Amino acid sequence: MNSATFAKNKRMSKIDLKYLSKELNLSISTISRALRDDWEISEKTKVRVRELAEKLNYSPNPYASSLRRQSSETIAVVIPEIANNFFTLVINGIESVAREKNYHVLIYLTHEDYERELSIINYFQNGRTDGILMSVSVGTQDYRHLQEIHQNGMPIVFFDRVCPEIETTRIITDDFESSYNATEHLIKNGCRRIACLSMTDHLSIETKRKSGYLQALAKYDIPVNPDWIIECTNDDPLSISRIRMLLTSSHKPCSIFATVEKLAIHTYDVCKELNINIPRKLKVITFSNLTTAALLNPSLTTITQPAFEIGKQAATVLFKHLYKKRFAIPNEDIVLKSDLHIRNSTL
């Protein structure tokens, strides 16, 4: 007997409420109520039902239940990518509270692509998920798909890369301040020729980080050199070539402030290739959740976001609403603080 027929046989003797009700000479509704510990059922029958259910390993069909109750006990996490320490830590935070609430977690990756994000969001028009935790992709400049699904009553909580136009809670970090501090750190270490590497500019975090950088320059009367403000995309080879151009130009910077980890890694790669010594010839500081930052050559100075806590808080806000629908998700920013880890790359 192969696995397929075995499955079919098993499915024949599937145990559901009807089966239990026949077995115990009770009605389906009584079984259902007994299992949900309804007060209208006597304690005696409750234990009878529970015992048989336990013995037969009954577990309710989630789709029947979801269909009837109009709720899925599932939340969706929509992120740009997953091979990224920041997002995996966020997921860890989310999972820690979802698990506690007995909720299930669907993961969707946009790969930083607007079209994908769009089609993913469209999955959610029909109740597959009770709520969304999301970080928008760099590719999206039009937020109408998010507006619409939010208007339709789907709870959304944004984290890190938020959508300011939508009236909901946004879990973010002190991007402006930490960028200011990072830049100031470079300045105080003797740098005045500071370049800024960032991703495309539509994300709120990117603009905030960049303006923190600019503010620090202004504070110390350092003129802004537009050639040193580089906008990269998700196209890695392109980013690398831009960094290479920057570091081989006649008028080079002496330090780099990167708004995302990947660009700092690219910088390390290019420096290795061009034999540029970090930190002697170039100092590097970046936003990053890399676990190996301290082990790099040289160890990398980072601004580290509290990723786990971000996920936890985002999930907590969402569940607060899911458990008490009357509690509308407040329209506010929750701002957590990042940590500056000074290491050898900015010595």
Partner DNA sequence: TAAATTACCGCAAACGTTTTCGTTAATGCT
Partner DNA sequence: AGCATTAACGAAAACGTTTGCGGTAATTTA
Q: How far is CA 297 from CA 107, 197, 264, 284, 343, in A?
A: 34, 20, 12, 12, 11
Greatest CA separation for the chain: 89
Based on the shown chain and the rule CB under 8 A, indicate whether residue 346 belongs to the binding site for its own copies.
no
Based on the shown chain and the rule CB under 7 A, indicate whether residue 13 belongs to the binding site for DNA.
no
CA pseudo-torsion sign 306, 198, 239, 345? negative
- CB burial of residue 305 (10 Å; 0-12, 13-18, 19+): buried
Nearer to DNA, 125 or 248 (CB): 125
Alpha-helix runs per DSSP H in 189-260:
204-219, 236-248
Q: How far is the CB of 101 from DNA (least distance, A)?
A: 16
- The torsion of the CA quartet 321, 170, 154, 83, rounded to 10 degrees, works out to -110
Based on the shown chain and the rule CB under 8 A, indicate whether residue 12 belongs to the binding site for its own copies.
no
Alpha-helix runs per DSSP H in 76-219:
85-100, 114-123, 144-151, 175-188, 204-219
Residues in 24-63 that interact with its own copies by CB under 8 A: 57, 59-63
Site string for DNA, 26-65 (x = CB under 7 A): xxxxx-xx-xx---xxxxxx------------x-xx--xx
Based on the shown chain and the rule CB under 8 A, indicate whether residue 125 belongs to the binding site for its own copies.
yes
Nearer to DNA, 8 or 36 (CB): 36
Helix (H) or strand (E) holding 197: strand 194-199
253: closest CA among 231, 274, 224?
224
Based on the shown chain and the rule CB under 7 A, indicate whether residue 340 belongs to the binding site for DNA.
no
CA pseudo-torsion sign 338, 101, 74, 106? positive
Stretch that binds its own copies, among 28-36, 45-53, 102-110, 203-211 (CB under 8 A): 102-110
Based on the shown chain and the rule CB under 8 A, indicate whether residue 274 belongs to the binding site for its own copies.
no
Residues in 64-123 that interact with DNA by CB under 7 A: 64-65, 67-70
Q: How far is the CB of 157 from DNA (least distance, A)?
A: 25
Based on the shown chain and the rule CB under 8 A, indicate whether residue 8 belongs to the binding site for its own copies.
yes
Q: How far is the CB of 85 from its own copies (least distance, A)?
A: 7
106: closest CA among 136, 141, 75?
75
285: closest CA among 227, 229, 340?
340
Stretch that binds its own copies, among 23-31, 204-212, 238-246, 323-331 (CB under 8 A): 323-331
Q: Which residues sit at the interface with its own copies, rule CB under 8 A?
A: 2-4, 6-8, 10-11, 57, 59-64, 66-67, 72, 74, 82-85, 88-89, 91-92, 95, 99, 104-109, 122-123, 125-128, 150-153, 155, 167, 265, 268-269, 272, 290-292, 294-299, 325-326, 328-329
Q: Which residues sit at the interface with DNA, rule CB under 7 A?
A: 14, 16-18, 25-30, 32-33, 35-36, 40-45, 58, 60-61, 64-65, 67-70, 126
